[in-house]
Structure 1
């Protein structure tokens, strides 16, 4: 070093400058070498890790929501493949289209053009010009949306795979990409609309059966961790962790879409024919409690906002059953031994009973009717007279045993359990009006199951609307409700069924099914109108078909139909549904009726 300094001191000015510059460059080289050594040997591992972290992505592998199917395997609701189109505005800001005919286009094997002409812009404007026509969006609005420094903007949700492929053909990888999503679609528009309900934007069931079965239908998402290239693609061999998604289970209903479709048509036509405000219907398997159809006349599409906010009227609507309630009273009278079906009464058309006046629906003279005849002729006066020794507690007990005043086993959203007050709350009139279906309210499901109890020889089954669930492994598991309770003896049920067959014969001109015996009961009850007063009526009709070998129970109820009486209005719709069922399921014709109980004496 001393020798170097002596050399510099004895050198000329030019030489000294050269030597000084050389020393400076040497020092810079030494510093760079030191930094390189530090980066390679000291910081290399951390730098490499940082680069790896920047390239690493964790992608959610979305599970598909299970399907909802009818009893025959017809798909009623399913999730289909869709994509959310995502933009990266920060990357878009540096996007430059590749001009067709350029050397770059030849090298890359693609170029960008709009209607065969150069894009004529860069950045967000260029991407918008290319993308807007494919997505059907406004070019200027899309350009404004993509102009920014964020890394994630949803351009459009739920585009089809076909549209996604068209976007891929635009060669916008790295600035625009598609995230796998799904869309819930429903098969038949307004068929079972509110009953099926719908899902929210996150795919969660929020109404109807979609809500009831949400946990079953919802799958478990998986994930994949990998390193991505500049275009967002997976770098081969870099997947470090992966967990497969598990799709939700399929739910198979007891509902038959063919039957439900026909019921919907009958209700819609019936409302138009009779000028009714609405109509509802239930079709139930008499022996198992399975619901084959549950419909109303409302025109609400499954999955729509209205379906998400409105529960099915067939589930929510409650009404007084009217004279259908006499079926319950007769069953209770016979089961307790308070009366026999052959007991004889002289029945006027009106009566003063313990300070309360009761009357029948139409004037008649003093009729000599048995208890069977009282039910067959639907006499309010006769029911009051026959129930003199039928206590209030017994009246309440059998209404409860037949399922009134309590929810069904279905657990459907918005389901009304009706109103049935305890005997202690009955006034001097209500204690007798409950004998003929007034003073309490029911829904159509409850009423149908009560009549099905008679059809099923006195045993009330828990109703079912979900038949089975099937996992991704294909294993099917039955989830039918199997609870059953004997309500009345088989002999009692047979005598009530006999009286109901007399009722059906009285409506033979309007509500019959050729070749088949029917057991039924009609009802007509006042309900509150828009002004809150009892200015409206509900006409209902519940029938067992065939009466000699019960297969189905059908209930129809309408509000304010022209024609008023349930046997004439709702009964005619029941007959149409019954005829369809007999044909569809190829039910053998009924045997001739024998040994009908006497109605008069």
Structure 2
């Protein structure tokens, strides 16, 4: 009988009982397997402590080293660059913390979109940013030394893959003051120009390493270690006086603009030890913005550029003549009424004159008188004195890029070449060389080495280095120097070419210079281009300063006494008052009475 599909036959009952027996055996087998696996796991787990103990005992040091290598390490720390001070302790160059932005390009999801956002914030080309963000590199700089506002705006984006890094930024608090002397550093903190380059090894210091803990992304956990323990470079103290430097740059700018000149330099130096107190260039240069100006502006033209000195070079000629006792200051020379033929060329004087004393040849700056003196001095002696004064070779100043100038061998000189050299043409010098030459006369006949470094101080406060000049080298007799001082003093008196350089209340000595520039294209001198210069010193008896003023290609006037003389006067007067040297009323009265009841006697006549 069948009910609802169940088989009630004996055969069906037998089949149902068989299935139950099979199920029971299967369940027992599964239970045994579970018990077996659990037993194995239990045994294995019970062995873990023993294995850990074994590994700890056997490989403890090795495992610890592996762990530490992944979580601890050393990080190279760049030193903070040393500070540059002027001679009075004013900070001329300092280093400050600044944020820089970099990216892990592997983490950037949408480079194009992010580049568009960053370009508006950082003011960097969108294409350049996109290229960097698509580079696939784990580290790529986006912008170095960003501003506080830029950091805030970038942080507000909350974009994955953007990171900040603290770096040092070199800052020059006085902007363009002594910019060409200071020079500048690159984004990596290495000196590239000026004293920043010359003394880079001292200022930069030595990198150090610190122990840090890394996180999973290999970033230092203890960030404070990087700022608190940074090494510091040595500090540099300059001979530059920022106040005198300011006077020099101010007056130089006024003169260049007044006479519509191309450029100019002013050098203020202590003639007794060679310390450079000011070295001004125009156009000026702000090292904070070196990337935004032409590299020509970086150049310190006071030491790198050469020019033909003109009549300031007559001091070398007169030194050679007086030292050899070939002339006395009261000897007279016939100056040919302003026109003198040398071979096929004609030498002119601005103001035609007949007989002049040697002293008046200097005072009125007669080219013809200088040529006649030079013919008696001779090429060999004159060349020897040119080399004695240091022309044709570097002065040895501690600044990069100094030029040697150009002095040809006298064997190559023709009579015309010799004549031209007597009034400073056909020879090229740097402004510094001409200033150093005048210092030799000011200090009694000794040649000094100019320098801008006063001392280098270690981070601990010890003095590492000072300027140790070999004792100044005498190149002329003190009597010759005294005689030249008298002649140069008359240049700034009434009737002299340098009268506009006279400083009321002080005794001043110096020489004017007006030269033409040689045009290599036309192989001739360009009458519209040249250098107007004045080099002098004060006070005359005990010189405190020697000052050289050089203005190139002035268009509204060309004479050194007119263009550069007033610059000398203003800078000299301000500098003397600044260091506490008061004017002497006796000097003022003496100038008012100069030329009255003066008797002149001549001991010898020289007509060449």
The two structures have a TM-score, normalised by structure 2, of 0.80
294, 311, 317: which one aligns with 2:299: 311
Tell me how far 1:17 sits from its aligned partner: 2.8
Cα distance in 2 for residues equivalent to 1:167 and 1:19: 65
Q: Which residue of 2 aligns with 1:269?
A: 254
Check 1:53–1:162 CA distance in 2 against 1; reply closer, same or farther (3 A cut): farther
Tell me how far 1:478 sits from its aligned partner: 5.3
Q: Is the 8 A contact 2:517 2:531 kept in 1?
A: yes
Cα distance in 1 for residues equivalent to 2:572 and 2:377: 35
Q: Which residue of 2 aligns with 1:587?
A: 581
Tell me how far 1:169 sits from its aligned partner: 11
Q: Is the 8 A contact 1:373 1:600 kept in 2?
A: no
Tell me how far 1:434 sits from its aligned partner: 1.6
Structure 1 residues not aligned, in runs of 5+:
1-8, 94-122
2:511 pairs with 1:495: no
Q: Is the 8 A contact 1:524 1:564 kept in 2?
A: yes
Tell me how far 1:145 sits from its aligned partner: 7.2
**1:349 aligned counterpart, secondary structure:** helix
Cα RMSD of the aligned pairs, angstroms, is: 3.8
Q: Is the 8 A contact 2:323 2:480 kept in 1?
A: yes
Q: Which residue of 2 aligns with 1:370?
A: 357
Tell me how far 1:402 sits from its aligned partner: 1.0
Q: Which residue of 2 aligns with 1:111?
A: none
Q: Is the 8 A contact 1:350 1:358 kept in 2?
A: no
Tell me how far 1:400 sits from its aligned partner: 0.9
Check 1:315–1:28 CA distance in 2 against 1; reply closer, same or farther (3 A cut): same
**2:504 aligned counterpart, secondary structure:** coil
Tell me how far 1:554 sits from its aligned partner: 1.0
Cα distance in 2 for residues equivalent to 1:35 and 1:318: 85
Check 1:277–1:206 CA distance in 2 against 1; reply closer, same or farther (3 A cut): same
Check 1:153–1:406 CA distance in 2 against 1; reply closer, same or farther (3 A cut): closer
| 193-202 vs 208-217, which moves further | 193-202
**2:485 aligned counterpart, secondary structure:** helix
Aligned ranges for residues 58-457 of structure 1 at < 5 Å? 58-85=74-101, 151-154=138-141, 156-159=143-146, 178-229=164-215, 232=219, 234=221, 245-303=230-288, 304-305=290-291, 306=293, 310-350=298-338, 355=343, 357-367=345-355, 369-457=356-444
Cα distance in 2 for residues equivalent to 1:423 and 1:598: 41
**1:534 aligned counterpart, secondary structure:** strand
Cα distance in 2 for residues equivalent to 1:463 and 1:145: 48
Tell me how far 1:168 sits from its aligned partner: 9.6
Q: Which residue of 2 aligns with 1:116?
A: none
Cα distance in 1 for residues equivalent to 2:469 and 2:134: 61
The two structures have a TM-score, normalised by structure 1, of 0.81
Tell me how far 1:401 sits from its aligned partner: 0.8
Q: Which residue of 2 aligns with 1:42?
A: 55
Cα distance in 2 for residues equivalent to 1:393 and 1:143: 68
Q: Is the 8 A contact 1:319 1:441 kept in 2?
A: yes
Aligned residues: 554
| 587-596 vs 151-160, which moves further | 587-596
Cα distance in 1 for residues equivalent to 2:374 and 2:142: 72
**2:426 aligned counterpart, secondary structure:** coil
**1:327 aligned counterpart, secondary structure:** helix
Cα distance in 1 for residues equivalent to 2:37 and 2:259: 105
Q: Is the 8 A contact 2:263 2:552 kept in 1?
A: yes
26, 45, 55: which one aligns with 1:13: 26
Structure having the larger proportion of residues in helix: 2
**1:387 aligned counterpart, secondary structure:** helix
Cα distance in 2 for residues equivalent to 1:270 and 1:358: 32
Q: Is the 8 A contact 1:198 1:307 kept in 2?
A: no
Q: Which residue of 1 aligns with 2:553?
A: 560
Aligned ranges for residues 470-509 of structure 1 at < 5 Å? 470-477=457-464, 479-483=466-470, 484-505=472-493, 506-507=496-497
Tell me how far 1:52 sits from its aligned partner: 2.9
Cα distance in 2 for residues equivalent to 1:403 and 1:253: 24
Check 1:442–1:147 CA distance in 2 against 1; reply closer, same or farther (3 A cut): closer
Cα distance in 1 for residues equivalent to 2:327 and 2:222: 85
Tell me how far 1:246 sits from its aligned partner: 3.5
Tell me how far 1:384 sits from its aligned partner: 2.2
| 465-474 vs 547-556, which moves further | 547-556
Cα distance in 2 for residues equivalent to 1:479 and 1:199: 23
Structure 2 residues not aligned, in runs of 5+:
1-21, 603-608
Check 1:33–1:362 CA distance in 2 against 1; reply closer, same or farther (3 A cut): same
Q: Is the 8 A contact 1:538 1:558 kept in 2?
A: yes
| 310-319 vs 326-335, which moves further | 310-319
Cα distance in 2 for residues equivalent to 1:54 and 1:325: 72
